[in-house]
């Protein structure tokens, strides 16, 4: 009987240790997953970056034509949600698929790079570290395939 109790206690202890390890790993994963989001200043910081970014792209002669008829509040909301999601935040981008949104625009690699430069300038204006800035740009880089058409 004592042997059964000891075996059950060991099984219980192993289960508790396993559960604790899983929870700790999950917490570390979540913390690492949203560290970029935190570095960008969370939703409020991302909104500020976007607010500084939009005038930059509208004034940039290399890409301004793409933003002439821009519904600024709508675009700002979509872009903020997209950056928040990409950065590991709680937001969910619900705009158009990038392939569809850019299908007929004729965006070149030079245009894409100009936009990335303007985003980095907006992040610098908001005192975002170069590490966080580079992380965000790296996470956005795969969108190039969907956006660049020529």
Range of the domain at 10: 1-33
Are both 113 and 55 inside the same structural domain? Answer: yes
Report the sign of the C-alpha dihedral through residues 98, 104, 110, 114, in that order. Answer: negative
Name the domain count of the chain: 2
Residues 6+ apart with CB under 8 A from 69: none
Query: Mind listing the pLDDT tens digit for each residue in 10-56?
Result: 444 433 344 333 333 343 334 446 899 999 999 999 999 999 999 99
How far does CA 61 lie from the centroid of its chain? 26
pLDDT class of 2 with cuts at 50, 70, 90: low
SS3 content of the chain, % helix, strand, coil (to 5): 75, 0, 25
Looking at residue 22, its pLDDT comes to 36
Are both 78 and 143 inside the same structural domain? Answer: yes
Predicted model pTM: 0.77
Q: What is the token pair recorded at 87? A: 């950065």
Residues 6+ apart with CB under 8 A from 25: none
Rg (CA), the chain: 22
């Amino acid at each position: 009987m004592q042997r059964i109790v000891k075996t059950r206690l060991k099984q219980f202890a192993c289960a508790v240790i396993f559960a604790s390890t899983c929870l700790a790993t999950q917490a570390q994963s979540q913390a690492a997953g949203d560290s970029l989001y935190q570095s960008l200043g969370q939703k409020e910081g991302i909104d500020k970056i976007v607010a500084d970014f939009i005038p930059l792209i509208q004034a940039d002669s290399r890409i301004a034509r793409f933003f002439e008829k821009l519904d600024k509040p709508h675009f700002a909301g979509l872009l903020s949600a997209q950056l928040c999601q990409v950065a590991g935040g709680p937001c969910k981008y619900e705009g158009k698929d990038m392939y569809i949104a850019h299908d007929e625009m004729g965006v070149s690699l030079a245009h894409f790079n100009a936009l990335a430069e303007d985003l980095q300038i907006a992040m610098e204006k908001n005192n975002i570290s170069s590490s966080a800035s580079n992380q965000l740009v790296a996470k956005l880089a795969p969108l190039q395939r969907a956006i660049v058409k020529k």
